Amino acid sequence: MDPNIQEAASNLAGIDVTIIVMYMIGVFILGTYFGKYVKSAGDFFVASRALPFWAIGMSIVVSDIGAMDFVAVAGSAFTDGIAVANFDWIGSMPAMVFAAFIFVPYFWRSGVYTIPEWLGRRYNAGVQIIHAAMWGVFLLTMLSLMLWVTGDELMNTILGWDPYWVVWLMVLITGVYTFSGGLSAVVMVDVVQLIIMFIGGISLLVLSMWEVGGPVGLQEKITSTEPRVIIELHDEAEIQPATVEEALSQAGFNVTGLDRAPMRTKDANPNRFVARLETVEIEATEGADIAAIRTKAKGLIEGALAGIGDGGEENGFQLRTYESHFKILLPHHTDKPYPWTGIVFGLGIVLAVAYMSGNQAIVQRTLGARSEWDAKGGMLFGGFLKSFIPLMVAVPGLCAVVLIPDLAEGDRAVPEMIGLLLPPGLKGLMFVALFAALMSSVDSTLSSATTIWTTDLYGRLRQFITGREMDEKHGLFIGRAFTVIFIILAGFLAPWIGQQEGLYVFIQTALSLFQGPTLAILLLGIIWKRANRWGGLAGLVLGVGFTTTLNMVDGLFPSDDPFLFVAWWSFVFSLIVTIVVSLLTPPEPEEKIRGLVWGQVMKDGEIQRVLGEKVS
């Protein structure tokens, strides 16, 4: 670790502590204030359907962009380049426009609380319960991961604070105001948190760009940066750097420096190194396939490490080069996780649309809109705000390549940059921005998980056993009970779930398991009245099984992390399965799908009158 970084990160000034404490107290008071307006399940889950468009848009953005994005997106930019920004540019804005004009007004008019609830009405209880269970487990996993990112990746890295203490502080604050005020508290706190997040993120961006000499200086310095080899030797005995350096030199590498990888966690591997490579025997000639060159280089590294420690097959290594760090769209055969084909088809067409149109944490805000116009306007306003996010979260990761290039883990780029660059006052403000980003994601995820488990799982089970639906008072009680259970359970699971490297790829891989099948049955259910319960059930279940199989087969796709390709092909597969099974089985009765198909809901005046009565 650079001693300058250690010194800068060691302590917060008094003004930093004051800013953080004032923020925590203010958020707690603001969130709990809205508890006095919560009298029923509708108040708790959809804010009495009284949210304005500007609050919806701001809440959507700050809920989607959390502390994990500051850490994980910047980490991916550090290791893989600016292509990761496509997750906001291609992967958010077009999908949000599509959702605003197709899915959002449809869901708002249908009067549902959750996406699984609509699927249950359109298909059957089996589809509703399976879909709700998948999202319920995923949201709980995300809760735990978000808590651990702040506790370990941020607070422990920069200040050496005990991550467990930080996790339970977040559990207390977010749990109390979400329990008290429900969606109203979550959204209004998010409005304040978005403002704070933008101020802190822009501060880090400006200082980072100043240090590297602006956009031109950044590009020149990154393209001239020597390749790095990240080496992890699995051996109980600590191995000396000289041994590794000699082995690499014999393999043809001119090692200009070999340092232990900067890792401040207490369980850091003593046999983890970062080697700076000035030249390699294999040089890229004009027109050469850079992927083939990287593969050959990896072969040489593997041979060099084979004679060290327990053997080359158990040793881990990664060759990191920077020739494509400024390419927005990477070639199809790149060995990085963001090829253009996956970005356009897997992300732009499937994952993005499924996320913005079928993610309960996003859609729930629009379900609480005071009018259809506010629901659509909120999504569009959120898309506008999202266009600025990559500048705040990805560009600092690129700057870290210049300022702290010898990091073994990209996920630690932003925490180290905060400790290195920000002066007293701004450091406290950036901490507040990260806390705001984390807490907004945690409270949104917690609220959505609670809604799904209460409405789609507990409610369905209770109806099956007793034959009666929940009343508003009972729904409020159960919703608050699940809020307490989930936030405490997430706190206990955080250390175990948080031990994952490459957080962003991990999250997207998990989403790809069911986002493709979900989008297929959601889209067909809305636009095609012939889709029936058996088609929807088969499309969802077989689609998830298909994605699991694709993820288990090595070498099927060019990328080492093929979640984008998996999402696309699982979507196509589920579309075909749903259509074929629906055509081979009897259609749904007209009275069952009445009010659940696009043309009926949006154009049938009688249906609108009935739905209006149900909502009111």
With 60 as the cut, is the pLDDT of residue 502 above it?
A: no
| pLDDT (0 to 100) of residue 200 | 83
Residue 258 pLDDT: 62
pLDDT in tens, 50-77: 899 999 999 888 877 766 677 778 888 8
Report the pLDDT value the prediction gives residue 558, as an integer from 0 to 100: 57
**Residue 195: pLDDT above 90?**
no
Question: E-strand spans in 109-169?
Answer: none
The pLDDT of residue 334 is above 60: yes
Which comes out higher in pLDDT, residue 264 or 26? 26
* Domains of the chain (ranges, CATH numbers): 3-212+355-501 (1.20.1730.10), 226-320 (3.30.70)
Is residue 342 scored above 80 in pLDDT?
Answer: no
Q: How confident is the model at residue 470 (pLDDT cuts 50, 70, 90)?
A: confident
DSSP string, 230-257: EEE---SSPPPHHHHHHHHHHTTEEEEE
Cα–Cα dist 561/557, whole Å:
9
Stretch 388-414: mean pLDDT, rounded?
A: 81
Q: Identify the three-state secondary structure at position 267.
A: coil
Span 408-464, pLDDT tens digits: 777 778 777 887 787 877 878 877 877 777 777 788 888 888 889 888 888 888 888
Per-residue model confidence (pLDDT) at position 312: 42
Our measurement of the distance from residue 241's CA atom to the centroid of its chain's CA atoms, rounded to an integer in Å, reads 37
Average pLDDT over residues 25-45: 81
Q: What is the mean pLDDT of residues 154-183?
A: 79
pLDDT of 378 reads: 92
For residue 377, name the pLDDT band (cuts at 50, 70, 90). Answer: very high
Render 437-501 in DSSP notation, one character per residue.
HHHHHHHHHHHHHHHHIIIIIIHHHHHHHHS-PPPHHHHHHHHHHHHHHHHHHHHHHHHHHT--S
**139 pLDDT more than 50:** yes
Res 508: pLDDT: 61
SS3 394: coil
pLDDT bucket at 304, cuts 50 / 70 / 90: low
Does pLDDT of 234 surpass 70?
no
Please determine, for residue 507, whether its predicted confidence score (pLDDT) is greater than 80: no
CA angle 257, 262, 265 (to 5 degrees): 155
Check if the beta carbon of residue 65 is closer than 8 Å to that of residue 389: yes
pLDDT of residue 605: 56
Task: Provide, rounded to the nearest whole percent, the portion of the chain with pLDDT above 90.
Answer: 7
In this prediction, residue 380 carries a pLDDT of: 92
| Dihedrals phi, psi of 320, to nearest 5 degrees | -115, 115
In the predicted structure, residue 357 carries a pLDDT above the cut 80: yes
Check residues 560 and 3 and name the one with the higher pLDDT: 560
The reported pLDDT for the residue numbered 541 is 92
> What pLDDT is recorded for position 47?
80
pTM strictly above 0.85: no
**Residue pLDDT, tens place only, 581-612:** 999 999 888 877 776 777 665 555 555 555 45
What is the structure's pLDDT at 491?
86
pLDDT of residue 388: 83
| Residue 477 burial (10 A CB sphere; 0-12, 13-18, 19+) | middle
Helix (H) or strand (E) holding 305: helix 290-305
Confidence of residue 291 (pLDDT cuts 50, 70, 90): low
List the beta bridge partners of residue 279: 254
What DSSP letter does each residue of 323-385 carry, written as one string?
Answer: TTTT-SSB-TT-SSS-BHHIIIIIIIIIIHHHHHHH-HHHHHHHHTBSSHHHHHHHHHHHHHH
CB count in 10 Å sphere of residue 532? 25
pLDDT in tens, 236-250: 556 666 777 777 776
